[in-house]
Structure 1
Amino acid sequence: MTHTDLRGGSDDSDEEGRSVCFWWKSAGELEYEKLRFDTMSNAPKVSPRIRLLRELERLGLLSSETLNEIRHKLHSYRPGDFWVPTGGITKEDLEIPAVNTLLLLGFHNAGKTSLVNLMYRVFARSGLLHFAQTSSSSTGTNSSTSKSCLFMEEHNVLRSTQSGFCVYDTQGFRYNQVEAALEEVTDWMTNGVHHKKLCLLPGDDAGQESPAGSIFATRDVNYAMVVANAWEIYTSLNLGDTTPLEALKKLFHLPALRNSGENPLLILTHGDKLSTDDRIDSRLKICEFLGVSEVSGAYDVVCVTENGYLTDEYDPISSYSVSEAVYRGLIISDKGHLPKRRFLDWAYLVFVCLMSAFAAIFSFLARICDYFVPKNKLKSSKKLL
């Protein structure tokens, strides 16, 4: 892929293919004139829209130059590789899991499973079939999909026996059951997840049973990514319905999702269903409502084209975006590893528990004495004193 200027001009004869990849090039002549002027003059104040266009230009450049490099880093990654020594603690002092776990969260039809399929294609680079079931592959009223999505799915998207991370696909939540979804997510982040874990919300079929769930390893969640349907949210906003966006905000800002003080990454999907201006506008509005950077806080990814094909070759920018998102997720995961508990730590914990137990016992005895000792004796004892 050859170098392009800000307007999308190219020395490459395959202009049609490039216009597909660089969808934002049609954002308007004035926008790119302003983008070029601001770049040359180093203007201190730049509008969010221009910052976003700059970010898209960055992704467009890196997708052709460093996609293979970042893919190689993910293939060679082992948990703890991205940890930076701080506070005099060495890597050997940390509780580092054998596999880092990335959790995909989102509401129904957000595109989580399609995103997993795209990861398989981008990272594994083999096969032409979908590796996970999507709603588009089912018939009828998503009956098969709704049943399969009741169970968590662990995916080794590198398709390697030495993979350093896994990705968990989860059930799509419903907008009218946000509080129940938040409780479920908090439980996952606190107690961990495992393959084929049953995920039940009010209204789901309680007769489902997790198939041999106990045989699968329980993994602590190291980082979460929130997947959102940009087309659905933007369409609802235009109709005056803010329910999807408000539900997304509650999920995104759930305290349990913050790792090392970092927000989860936001992955926007289905933006290709919008016009160029609406696609940009939807990202700006969603990020503003969530209070995150429209540049570094979100990625716009097209998982499946309108013809049902995965976009790993059709849209290399989506391929690079999902690769960079996973790469950043692993960096934050390695930042969140805790130091190992040593003997003195356990001794201190036992001492604190014993002191708390003694305090509770003496408090209980004091209450008993206060209840059984007559009040007149207490008065006489006070007079003697």
Structure 2
Amino acid sequence: MKYDNLDDLDRSPCSISFDDSIRRRRRGRGYHEIMRSYLSVELRKGTLGEAKRKILSYTPGAWIEEVGGLRRSDYKLPKTTTLLLIGPRGSGKSSLVNRISGVFEANKVSSVRAQVSYNSFVENGTYFLQEYMIPRGSASFCLYDTRSLSDNSSDNYEMLKSWITKGVRHGELVIRDSDSPSFIKSMKCKASQCGYWSREARMVNFVIFVVNGVSVLKTMGDSNADEQYTYMLANTFSCPYLSFKDAKPVVVFTHGDILSRSERARVRIHLGELLGIPPDKQVFDIPDKFDAPTKLTILDMLQYSLEHADRNLPCKNRTLEKVVAVFQVVFLVGIFLLTLYFAHRLQKLMGKAMHRKHAHESETPLDWHSIRHLWLG
């Protein structure tokens, strides 16, 4: 068989068969690694308290790796590390907020802080950005629950661009260009009635991408399934604004409690291949449960997110700092010299006044014109 170019050679039956074989081997190895990770979490249940204490001891910048000659003081440390939750409608972002909060709170009722949509097929959800300090009352890190992603990729692009470049504000209304005028009007009316949103914008430090494991499995097993969901996941995940340097978002898939463990492993492998990330290390399976393995998985996911948030903090602008420092020194020296000058002039003024008094040059009291004449010499 003759091939005109290397592209044709790459598409030969032998190379296709070889690629498929390598892909199957990789999937098989990944499947066994993921199944072992489930067993590992079960065996690590006794370390739950230690894992929780590690997260509770976290402060912004605490896990910075001092490499390349850089130290912790070289980075811009936020007051609070901000983790942004994004995902399609029905992915379980608000439920995830409640499960994370519940890991640190004994009262199950008080840990239900985010409003959960009971029926994901109904057009509702989170329309106002919501900030949740974790744990409650702490200032170490927070989660931001957001409006669901749209089927319109341009809507998602503009929404993510705004959040990442301008920051997020608690209580801020999120509307899209594709929203109907009546919907925008009603939501703005509701926003005006609510009245308040935070004036302080928090810059996003890392992103948690939340997906519905059942929806993903459906697209895997049904050749006639709508590919829009898969396309939207891959297209949104590849948005450059979501990556911090080379660090891509962490992925959490939910609703795994209604799937078998084998199906959950397949979902993780598929998401790893679709999004280009290691499925056993960057895709976390957090089902709608509240047992010890789930809590430990949540803590592992938080540790991964906070470590990468710290690792990719921006460095301070040393040139600007030096310019500001020089300006401050010049300003202080100028104030000092002006003080000396006015003190000297005042001393001369007092000396002239005393001299005129003793010489009886004038018996009239000093008025404003006389003082001005003496001051100007």
Instruction: Report the TM-score when normalising by structure 1.
Output: 0.69
User: Which deviates more from structure 2 when the two are superposed, residues 231-240 or residues 48-57?
Assistant: 231-240
**Cα contact 1:105–1:112 (8 A) shared by 2:** yes
User: Residue in 1 aligned with 2:144?
Assistant: 168
- In 2, distance between residues paired with 1:142 and 1:157? 29
Specify which of 181, 192, 205 is matched with residue 167 of structure 2.
192
CA contact (8 A) 2:87 2:211 kept: yes
Query: Are 1:246 and 2:221 counterparts?
Result: no
Deviation at 1:236, TM superposition (A): 3.2
The unaligned stretches of length 5 or more in structure 1 are 1-43, 304-310, 349-385
Partner of residue 215, structure 2: 232
Distance in 2 between residues matched to 1:113 and 1:52, nearest whole Å: 26
Deviation at 1:124, TM superposition (A): 2.4
Structure 2 CA distance for aligned equivalents of residues 75 and 177 of structure 1: 39
| 1:118 partner letter | R
1:285 aligns with 2:285: no
**Contact 1:226 1:265 survives alignment (8 Å):** yes
Q: 1:59 aligns with which of 16, 38, 41?
A: 41
Match of 2:158 in 1: 183
2:308 aligned partner: 332
Secondary structure of the corresponding residue to residue 87 of structure 1: coil
Which of 155, 163, 166 is equivalent to 2:132? 155
Q: Answer whether contact 1:260 1:332 (CA < 8 A) is retained.
A: no
Contact 2:250 2:282 in 1 (8 A): yes
Aligned position for 1:307: none
Aligned to 1:365: none
Residue type of the alignment partner of 1:49: Y
Partner of 1:124: 105
Deviation at 1:272, TM superposition (A): 1.9
Alignment map for 1:342-353 (pairs within 5 Å):
342-344=318-320
Contact 2:172–2:198 (8 Å) recurs in 1:
no
Cα deviation digits, residues 206-248 of structure 1 (max 9, x gap): 1223444554421000000100001012113333222211211
The aligned counterpart of 2:245 is: 260
User: Alpha-carbon deviations, 1:64-93, whole Å to 9, x = none?
Assistant: 122211211221211011011122222222
- Given residue 57 of structure 2, which amino acid in structure 1 is its aligned partner? S
Give the length in aligned residue pairs: 288
Distance 1:298 1:183 in 2: 25
SS in 2 for 1:135: coil
- 2:299 paired residue number: 323
Residues 100, 278 of structure 1: CA spacing in aligned structure 2 closer, same or farther, 3 A cutoff?
Answer: same
Amino acid at match of 1:261: D
Q: What residue identity is the alignment partner of 2:135? A: L
Task: Name the CA shift for 1:225/1:141 in 2 (closer, same or farther; >3 Å).
Answer: closer
Residue equivalent to 1:35: none
Q: What SS is found at the alignment partner of 1:340?
A: coil
1:163 aligned partner, one-letter code: A
Confirm or deny: 8 A CA contact 1:194 1:213 kept in the other structure.
Answer: no
Note the C-alpha offset of 1:56. Answer: 1.5
Q: C-alpha displacement at 1:269, in angstroms?
A: 0.5
1:83 is matched with 64
Q: Kindly state the Cα deviation for residue 273 of structure 1 after the two structures are TM-superposed.
A: 2.0
Structure-1 residue corresponding to 2:184: 206
C-alpha displacement at 1:200, in angstroms? 1.1
Aligned partner of residue 167 in structure 1, secondary structure = strand
- The answer on 1:302 being equivalent to 2:287 is yes
How far off its partner does 1:141 sit? 7.0
Paired letter, 2:99 = L
Q: Give the distance between the partners of 2:195 and 2:49, measured in 1 at CA.
A: 38
Separation in 1 of the partners of 2:46 and 2:121? 42
Gaps of 5+ in 2: 1-25, 325-377
Q: Aligned equivalents of 1:183 and 1:344: distance in 2?
A: 31
Greater radius of gyration (CA): 2
CA-based RMSD: 2.4
| Residues 269-325 of structure 1, C-alpha deviations (whole Å, 9 max, x = no match) | 11222233322222222222222212012011113xxxxxxx32xx22211111111
Query: What secondary structure does 2:152 align onto?
Result: helix
Contact 2:89 2:148 in 1 (8 A): yes
Cα distance in 2 for residues equivalent to 1:275 and 1:127: 26
CA deviation after TM superposition for structure 1 residue 346, in Å: 7.4
CA distance in 2, matches of 1:269, 1:300: 7
